[in-house]
Homo-oligomer: A and B are copies of this chain.
Amino acid sequence: MKSGLRILGIDDGPFNKDSDKTTVLVGVLMRLNSYVEGISIETINVDGTDATQKILSMASGRFMEEIDFIMSNGVTFGGFNIMDVNSIHETTGIPVISITRKEPDLDSMFSALKLHFPDYKERTEILKKNSVNKIEYEGKTLYINCSGININDAAHLIKKTTIMGNIPEPVRMAHLIATAIINGESHGKT
């Protein structure tokens, strides 16, 4: 695997679901060796439907030709603003890997969508296109779903880009930056 390969790591900022209408979505363009080459910051609507579009926007422009993989922390940002993993892969041609440490409870999500969103059918449809796979390595468990890359290659890439804990560096950096933008400070040690 070439160390020149570049990953766009994506995560959202925290938000207060009662008072915040928006939060940030941060993309960090990082090489396999953890060298950061670029950062992109978008605003997304809490419980909105613009996450997919904003990620496509990040992947265009100056970053476009440089991204070999997209990695994200889960598929929901700013509450229930769902990223369409398959559509992003189909539109950009870039393999997409979404990672969570906890097993996603899709049934609960379907119920919540039905209860709170008039457009729950469209949102449910996007979620249903995902297939969640459990991977285990070095005593760590992760749930991933991906498009344009097989599970084994995705697992290899995750291992290759994880330094501490079980979150790959591009996603961890996006998380640190997004949290600091909203809270003024973020701290990576747990």
Contact = CB atoms under 8 A, between A and B. Distances in A.
A37 B180 CA distance: 12
Interface residues of A, number: 26
Nearest to A173: B36
A26 to B, nearest CB: 8
A180 B41 CA distance: 6
* Copies of the chain in the assembly: 2
A96 interface: no
A62 B180 contact: no
A62 B188 CA distance: 11
A38 interface: yes
A139 interface: no
Contacts of A163: 35
A141 interface: no
B188 A37 contact: yes
Given A177-B177, A180-B40, A180-B41, A185 B62 contact: yes
Contacts of A186: 38-39
Contacts of A140: none
Interface of A: 34-42, 61-63, 163-164, 173, 176-177, 179-181, 184-189
